[in-house]
Amino acid sequence: MKRGSVQIDRERCKGCCLCVRACPFKVLDIDTQMNSTGSFPAAFKQADKCTACASCYQVCPDAAITVYELEGDGK
């Protein structure tokens, strides 16, 4: 199975949660730490479940998400 990693630009993310809802594997959640704008950005929480499907990237209105496909088995 493909493995992935998600990088979220905490300062660009406004905490709209579209990516959290779009992820079919529930690897994203809202962070408990605010960013400098007072928003609670999305956070990559379940790294072992990510398949690099890029659903989160596709719905992000702020271009705050980058998805990487990991080589091999992701370990």
* Residue 68 neighbours by CB under 8 Å, 6+ apart: 4, 5, 6, 7, 52
With cut-offs at 50, 70 and 90, classify the pLDDT of residue 22.
very high
pLDDT of 29-70, one tens digit each? 999 999 999 999 999 999 999 999 999 999 999 999 999 999
* Residue 2 neighbours by CB under 8 Å, 6+ apart: 51, 52, 69, 70, 74
pLDDT value, residue 74: 43
Instruction: Walk me through the domains of the chain, giving residue ranges and CATH numbers.
Output: 3-70 (3.30.70.20)
